[in-house]
Chains A and B, each alone.
Chain A
Amino acid sequence: MPGAIQIAAGVRNGSLKAIDVVEQHLAAIREREPEIHAFNLVLADEARTSAEAIDAAVAAGDDPGPLAGVPIALKDNMCTRGIPTTCSSRILDGWKPPYDATVVTKLAAAGAVVMGKTNLDEFAMGSSTENSAFGPTRNPHDTSRVPGGSSGGSAAAVAAGFASVGLGSDTGGSIRQPAALCGVVGVKPTYGYVSRYGLVAFASSLDQIGPFANTVADAALLLDTIGGHDPMDSTSIPVQHPSLAEAIEQGVEGLRVGRITDLPEGADADVNERVEVAFDALRAAGATIVDVQVPAFTFGLTAYYLIAPAEASSNLARYDGVRYGMRVEAADTNAMYGVTRAAGFGDEVKRRIMLGTYALSAGYYDAYYGKALKVRRLIHDEFERAYRTADVLLTPASPSVAFPFGSKGDNPLAMYLCDVYTIPANLSGHPGMSVPFGTGAHDLPVGVQVLAGTLCEPQMFRAAAALERAAST
């Protein structure tokens, strides 16, 4: 199937019908979705209706926009007016937001066609989609294995050809890790690059929306469309972002690519091997390789698992059975809170609410949350120092290729370690992306993570495009 750029170009010049593109993707969904379960909800009728409207606009001489007719999969934690938005949680089952997220408004204005709402770990808490209240998503490359998470549904939808591109949210690696495991491109932009308005919050100071795509160029096109300042999000950066679609036209000649010499160990040998090949490929393409140190990298996991649950415990307190979503009746309101929340949230969400509440509670704040904020600063400052000598850094996106369902057992920490390489960029706010770069064990995809400095998306995309070119030769 053609990529997003080809679809949009074809639809805009009339050589391709948006409705045909949608039907092709719906056919793929009919064929494999029962097995994959990428979606919580497929919006077949709505997709056809918008495709027809786009075709009509083109016929009338109007330009539907830069994503004209491009089928997109939306993670089910982005608000869509009148369309259920569940976060894969029982507590929001059936809730229809009365408003659209800013990204949804921007996609519609750009002519994109939403194919459905994709599965995720409940409230984006997890690395496998096993924590979804509606059952897991399967990896299109091997259905006995996880697609990664939490944006596993969007990653799988793009990998399986259910949509041309997708949107996910990344709080600790939730775009990059599933992108790596599903063999697609996944981008977490600089914090503040994309509006969070209408993204159901997990951890507000870490959450960032970003694209999934089959190519770096498609990801650039999508990020160019959804990025930019939004007055509805106070943390949105008020600058005009340079075109990434144009940036990737440049090569990596002279780009300084950093190797973190004190990177925490723990990645599988097959993954490490691909990262080494990636360094070689960029060197061969004209980049310089430099060594940098980020000694606090290894403490990212601890800082993250104190900060993210703390914010989550507050963000998820609003699910109280009063205004929307589920309620379990009880004799009084206080009792109703307790039984509603116990029934509505799954185990992992409860665990993080407990951890976060504890980390913020009187007597423990300084020892846990307060200390984690200092570690966050340390990590941020060390990265800033590293970016003085390197334009981008390369690491594994995930310590391993896609793993079988249930293989992390009952120990939550084992699952948390999946995010060890992706978490630091969320803490520091810097951008990062995963680029498919060959295969590892079991012939499964390996993703290489490209990290860059604040608002240095152009350099990051240049390196990613060079890796993509090297991987295809």
Chain B
Amino acid sequence: MSERISAEAVTKVARLARLDLTAEEIERTTSQLAGMLEHFADIDALDLGDVEPMAQPYPLVNVFREDVIVPGLDRDEVLAAAPEAEHGRFRVPPIIGLDV
């Protein structure tokens, strides 16, 4: 298997993606991603210098809505589906290590 991706890189990606993977999962993912990236190297042979990237299939532009109020959702219905709610708001555990 190639050295296309390291376990350290996979650990960092798991942290970015907020996925708590076990050591065994990190190891397996590293090997699977390495295998895929090896396969995906097929496009390295293409000459893509002048090619415009394509992010969307159909070329639309300037799609708007008017600035008009549309009835929204009922707070009680929405909060009833929340894992935890209090005083009309969503409750979460302490926010640390996330400051932006």
Which A residues form the contact surface with B (CB < 8 A)? 95-96, 98-99, 190-192, 205, 231, 234-235, 237-238, 296, 298-299, 301-303, 305-306, 313, 317, 320-327, 329-339, 341-342, 345, 350-351, 353-355, 357-358, 361, 368, 370-378, 380, 411-413, 427-430, 454
Contact = CB atoms under 8 A, between A and B. Distances in A.
B96 A354 contact: no
Given A338-B19, A357-B17, A302 B42 contact: yes
A329 B93 CA distance: 8
Given A303-B43, A361-B16, A378-B48, A322 B83 contact: yes
15 contacts: A205-B55, A302-B39, A303-B43, A305-B40, A322-B90, A332-B97, A350-B21, A355-B33, A358-B9, A358-B13, A361-B16, A368-B40, A371-B48, A376-B54, A380-B57
A351 B98 contact: no
B43 A339 contact: no
Contact of A333 (B25, B37, B73, B93): B93
Contacts of B33: 351, 354-355, 358
Interface residues on B, range: 35 or more
A338 B52 CA distance: 37
Contacts of B29: 350-351, 354
Contacts of B37: 368
B39 A330 contact: no
A333 B94 contact: yes
Contacts of B78: 98, 323
A373 B54 contact: yes
Interface of B: 5, 9-10, 13-14, 16-21, 25, 29, 32-33, 35-37, 39-40, 42-43, 46, 48, 51-58, 60, 63, 65, 73-74, 77-78, 81-84, 90, 92-98
A262 B29 CA distance: 34
A84 B96 CA distance: 33
B20 A375 contact: no
B5 A375 contact: no
A334 B39 contact: no
B36 to A, nearest CB: 6
A428 B57 contact: yes
A99 to B, nearest CB: 7
B61 to A, nearest CB: 10
B93 A336 contact: yes
Contact of B82 (A324, A338, A374, A427): A324
Nearest to B83: A327
B17 A331 contact: no
Contacts of B20: 338-339, 341-342
B63 A234 contact: yes
A25 B100 CA distance: 54
A332 B54 contact: no
A191 B58 contact: yes
A416 B42 CA distance: 15
A95 B35 CA distance: 36
Nearest to A356: B17
B13 A332 contact: no
Contacts of A95: 81
A412 B94 contact: no
A299 B21 contact: no
Closest 7 CB pairs of A and B: A429-B57, A373-B53, A327-B83, A338-B20, A377-B54, A337-B18, A191-B57
B43 A377 contact: no
B93 A331 contact: yes
Nearest to B56: A205
A231 B14 CA distance: 37
